[in-house]
Structure formats: structure tokens, C-alpha cells
Structure 1
Amino acid sequence: MRSVPGGPFDGERQLPEEVERNLLEKYNLNDPVHIQYFNGIRDIVANPIGEKFGPSIRLADYNVDEVIAQGFPVSASLGIFAMVFALLLGMTSGVISAIKRNSALDVGFMAAATLGISVPSFVLASVAVIVFVFWIPIFPAAGWGQLSQILLPALCLGAPFAGYIARLTRTGMLEVLGQDYIRTAYAKGLATRRVVVRHALRGAILPVVSYLGPAVAGILTGSLIVERIFYLPGMGSHFIEAALQRDYPLAMGMVLVYTCLLYVMNTLVDISYGVIDPRVKVE
């Protein structure tokens, strides 16, 4: 970001040289980049919670920690709703496709999954706004605070991941359904529903669990555009503004928060392997 031409105080109206020099000194931007880096690491480690990243350059009277505290609940709610939607829709359609292999349901679900994977979330969001806001006014166009205002963005954000999960679930389920213990369960007279839910599903979702780490990364990066389209006051909107206006402290704070979230989610995915499959040992 520092290598991009321009700076936080560049604009159509040129600041007096003395004023710009004082601003650079205030935000410690007149030091070499490597000195700024080590000073930033020191501040994050030494400063108390609430003052980790210092003041924002562009948002007057706000520090970076306050901006993150305000935007994180919005982005977290959007991501949770999108992930729940992707898991419910993807796993349900994948299981049905595997059980009804080569049927019309299988072909239809897999065609919808391929379409969901192929269409970017920002294209899907734009089409959804036209259809479900203007043509069929079911959802509001923007805003935050009500359940109806989060459903459409969450559906648009989670749809591509639902397609991936559906294909992974179908593949895993088809592999498990051919195992000896599944044939034994059918031979004992168990109903198809009980065989699938109690015996087959647990082994079939291992590929889905592996995909949850990259899916969280995709939802975090995809939420930047979706929040911008639906004008949601989340971290994504602040991050885009920070990048466009060269607000270095705010951009750095957002990147560190996203990085910590990815590390936490990937760690939870690895731990969940040992819970789902007893053959996997966590060391």
C-alpha cells in the first residue's frame, strides 16, 4: 500500500508545506517505512485494548479500535448468516443429489451449484437488488438493524460457497454410500433416512470441513464488495475507504483483524477433524 503513488494528505487542494509536514509528524509518517513498521508493532504490543492502532487519519475524532469495534459486529453477523445459509443449502442439496443420483433433482441441483460458483457475488448482488428490491419489493435496498436488511446480502454472499459445498457433499456422500458398513446398515433393514443421517453423513462431511477454512477467507474478502453494494456499515466498507484514502493505520488494523480471524478459523477446522473422525489425532 505504501508503494502506491499518493498519500493520505494528497488532494485537489494542496496543503501548505508546513501544515503537511506537521501532519506527517503527528502520525509518524515522516520516518522511514521500516521504522514505522517496528513502531507499529511496538504500539500493538504495548498499548492497552482500545488504543492498539492509534487514531485514524481520515475519520476525525475516531481511533482505529473504535472503528473496528463498530464495524466488526456487522461484518460478523453478515458472515455468520452467509455461512449458515451456505452450509444448510449446500449440504442439503448435496445429500439429495447423492441419494437421487442421475435423477432430475441431481441434475438440477448440480446445475444450480455450477451457476452459483460461476457467478461472482457482486454480479449476483446487483441482479438480486434489481429483482428483489425493485421488481418484487421483498427486501430493502440497504441499511442495517433489521433481519430483512441482512437476509439478501447474506444470501448473495453465501450462494457461491453453497455451490462448492453442494458438490463436495455429493462427492463425499457417493463415496461413503459405497462402503461396506453402509450396505450392512441397509441389509439390517434400517431406513434410508437413518442410514444417511446416522452413518453416512458423518464421513461425507470431511471434505466440507476441509473447505470451511478457505470458505471463511472467501466470505471475509467477498463481504467487502457486498457491504459496499448494500451500504452496510461493516468492516468491509471502512477497509475500502481506508485503501482509497490511504488511511494507513485503519487499513493496517483491518488487515490484522482479518488475519487473526483466518488463523482462528483454520485452527478450529483442524481441531474439528479430530472430533468428527476419531482416526485423526491432534498433536
Structure 2
Amino acid sequence: MPDRPHPLHPRYWAVHLLALACVAAAVALGYWQYDAWHAKRDAAARDLSQIPALPLTQVMGPDDPFPGKYVGQPVALRGTWEPDGTILISGRERNGVDGYWVVTPLEVGPGTAELMVVRGWAASRTDVPAAPRGAAELTGWLQPAEGTGAVDDDATDDVLPQLRIADALHHVSGDLYGAYAVAQPAIATAGSNTGTDGLERAELDQLPPSPRFTAIRNLFYAIEWWFFAGFAVFMWWRWLSDDVLGDEPDHLQDDRE
């Protein structure tokens, strides 16, 4: 009985190449659908941050825990700046440059608690403009307080490693909301006193969560394509095992003898 050709014999190249092309195409299409799923979820999160602003008092009260469904919710803020409570949050990168968030408390109503407002970003402490004073009217994205566990190396200065409400309390004269807001860059109207002048925009760290089933079809398509890739590998291996590497049945060998 003549020997079988080697599995890499040129007569089998067309089958090997077809199997490789099918697997590569299925894997690539799966990753394409997976990336589309991620992109659509990220877009949905950003879109939530663009919805109309709500009054802060409609979203949470001074003593309320942070309402998780309002991460990134735009809130309309009116109050009075408390410039003496201005702090800097270190380790904030923007376009590859390490800098600071500039944060000033805003008393959102007479006798009520203050809300820490991230007015913007500065590359160095010398670039930080004077804190605003007086009445203010602005819109900001609501964010839960940070709690990264970073340690403040110098509790006597106005630079903190994170925007943690318990740490910020040492720099203000009143109570604080259990949240902070990132000021939206906007064209200031007369008397608005947004406090963002002289600062670059602070990036929104925590986006609102995407709806649970956003772009779920793209995820299913990705899984289907990867399943097809696995099936193509299985079929190629079965063909290789049965028709190329496998032994002939005994009755066929007997007939040839």
C-alpha cells in the first residue's frame, strides 16, 4: 500500500489555507463586533452625561448617600463661592501632563451644606488663578466621592491626593455634600461666575453606567463568530484525522492485499 502524503504536502495546501482563512475571518469579525459593543456602551454612557441638568436638590440632599443612578448627571448649581476652602487634587493627568484639579466649595443655599466643585485643571500650582468670590450659577456633572486609599503626605497644605469628602472637610467651615461636581465648560453669561476662567477643562473621571442591554446584539454576534471559528478548527481537525492521518479500515486493507 502506498504511503499517504505528508499533511503538509502541496496537494493539501488549498484545504489548509481555506481553513486558516475561515478561522482568521471569523476571529476578526468577532473582535470587530466586540469592539462595536464596547464603543456603543461607552457612547451611551457619554450621552447620559449630556442630558438636561436637574436641580441639585432634586437629585440628592446634604445628608443623603450618593444616588448611584445619578453618576454623571448634570446638575444646575446656584450658590456662593467659599474661596478659602479651595484645594488642589494632585496626580490628575491631561494630554500626558501631570497636573492638578482645582476645587472650590460652593455653598448651594443659605445655611446649607457646601458642594465641592472641580473648577478645572492646571499644570502646576503657579498656574492656578485666584479662587472666585460671590454668587455663582453653573452646571456640573455629579460624581461620587473618591476613595482610592491614597495617603496624604502633608496634611497641613491644601494639596490632596484624592477628592475624599472626609479629607476635604478639614478645609471648609461647614458641612459637605457626599459628592462633588465637575464644572461644565460653558460660555459664561453675565453674573454667572462659573469659576472656570483661567483653567483648562477637567476630564470627567466617572461616567454614568451604560444601560444593561446596550448593544447586546453586537456581543451575541461576536460570540457567534468565535463559535464559528472554533467549529472551523474542529472540522479541519476531523478532516485531517480521518482523511490524512487516519488508518484505513481493516476490510479495505484486506481487499487490497
Higher helix share: 1
TM-score category (smaller protein): under 0.3
- Per the normalisation by structure 1, the TM-score is 0.22
Higher strand share: 2
Choose 1 or 2 for highest CA Rg.
2
